[in-house]
Structure 1
Amino acid sequence: MTETISAAAGRDLPLPDAVLWDMDGTLVDTEPYWQESQVVLVAEHGGSWSREDGDSLIGSGLWHSARVLQEHGVKLSEQEIIDRMTDDVLVSIEKHLPWRPGARELLREVRDAGIKTALVTMSIRRMADHIAAAVDFDAFDVVVAGDEVEHAKPHPDPYLRAAEALGVDPSSCIAIEDSPTGLASAVAAGTTAIGVEHHAPLRTDGDFVHRATLEGVRLDDLREILSRGRLLADLPEGDA
């Protein structure tokens, strides 16, 4: 998404009705914990698991990840694989919960401004609730977890469900993601999406605002990003 719009920016622009947050890799840097669990689990069943294998699953639903692990020789059911990986990651989180730069600060500013929020993750509910409870303020109005949606990301269902639960139109929301899969979900749902590049490379010309970090991102930035997204959405097809 292009970085330039008209000069009308700043405090006169509307705030989003809601900010929808991805969790793993966006709010907290748990992706290395998931990949460590995958390496150990595949090795226990006589196989090998590369960094590229792990990167290919970033942003995917856990049931898809479980099937890929089965293809690599893990002789457990999908649910057993999901439970095992979730348990492993929870143990690692108890030792250290690594927040992504700027994420907690922006989340706090959004909440202090009275803006609705949702946590939209493909992790299962007990993992999502654990992370939400680790925030030392009332962070989320709604949690949408991977075991509660019919279709996982990149399908728009998770973000549509979050917007519906908050009682807002997706087009009035900003979604913050770190993976191509998650961004595809957010964009398809009609939100204005911010892609914060981390473990997975992101396009710089996609239908989202590309950011290297959330450090220094403030409410006025969200106003401008939302207005830019609405402006581009209103352009005739092919003019963006």
Structure 2
Amino acid sequence: MFKGIIFDSDGVLVNSMPYHAKAWVDVFAQFGINVTEEEIYDIEGSNHVGVINIFFEKAGRVPEPDMYDRILEMKRAHFLEKNRAETFEGMYECLNSLKPKFKLAVASGADRTIVTSLMEKFYPGIFDAIISGEDVKKGKPDPEPYNRAVELLGLDKNECFVVENAPLGIESAKNAGMFCVGIPTYLDAGKLQEADLIVKDHKELIDYLKGLEEKQS
């Protein structure tokens, strides 16, 4: 029986990826690197180090050591200025209902400032643990983010499951040896085939979570 649920943030809890994608595109352009929003969606879940490495490598370049913090600060400022993210309908009410029966965590690839600001705004007091991209040495698809979340919840990984909307996040959960529910928020469901279960939208996800809650009653 599951005792803990670990959620990705962007695209699962908050409809925020369009603002992340636009921020990355605009910041990379300032370094002479052309990136499309679709390319950002494909590697969603990676922390800033991973994102920077991926697109510098594609451009045949190597980032200078001081660029990581500088690009992160630029991207963060852009996101916070332009962000108009909202929650997905019914998710706060669902999680608030789940909280008495499950330990809840967030494991996101976004930086700590952004993750905590979004959770404090939209899901205050809901989560027992929040993992950001800055809290791990290796971001998704490495298992470290989900292993860290399980550790902070004080549970075994077989007592937890993950809700993800991106291929790298699903790969991270599976590399951690965990059951994973996929939701195709921004990408076609065909890109989420590594998930153990795929729901078609947030309504179906909420129905699934409510079903688990009822079993705990």
What band does the TM-score fall into relative to the shorter chain?
0.7 to 0.9
SS in 1 for 2:198: strand
2:77 aligned partner, one-letter code = D
User: TM (normalized to structure 1)?
Assistant: 0.77
Structure 1 stretch displaced more, 48-57 or 119-128: 48-57
User: Does residue 74 of structure 2 align to residue 84 of structure 1?
Assistant: yes
Percent identity over the alignment is 24
User: Does residue 13 of structure 2 align to residue 27 of structure 1?
Assistant: yes
How many residues were matched structurally?
209
Looking at structure 2, the residues matched to 188 and 106 of structure 1 have their Cα atoms a distance apart, in angstroms, of 27
Partner in structure 1 of residue 127 of structure 2: 140
User: Does residue 150 of structure 2 align to residue 163 of structure 1?
Assistant: yes
How does 1:29-108 map onto structure 2 within 5 Å? 29-71=15-57, 72=59, 77-93=67-83, 96-108=84-96
Whichever structure has more helix as a proportion of its residues is 2
Q: 1:168 to 1:180 in 2, by over 3 A?
A: same
Contact 1:179–1:202 (CA under 8 A) maintained in structure 2:
no
Question: Which runs of no fewer than 5 residues in structure 2 stay unpaired?
Answer: none
Tell me the C-alpha RMSD between the 2 structures.
2.6
State which structure, 1 or 2, has the greater radius of gyration over its C-alpha atoms.
1
User: Does residue 178 of structure 2 align to residue 188 of structure 1?
Assistant: no
Looking at structure 2, the residues matched to 162 and 119 of structure 1 have their Cα atoms a distance apart, in angstroms, of 7
Partner in structure 2 of residue 174 of structure 1: 161
> Runs (4+) of structure 1 moved beyond 6 Å?
73-76
SS in 2 for 1:200: coil
Displacement of 1:143 after TM fit?
0.9
Question: Which runs of no fewer than 5 residues in structure 1 stay unpaired?
Answer: 1-13, 226-240
Q: 1:79 to 1:137 in 2, by over 3 A?
A: closer
Looking at structure 1, the residues matched to 88 and 177 of structure 2 have their Cα atoms a distance apart, in angstroms, of 25
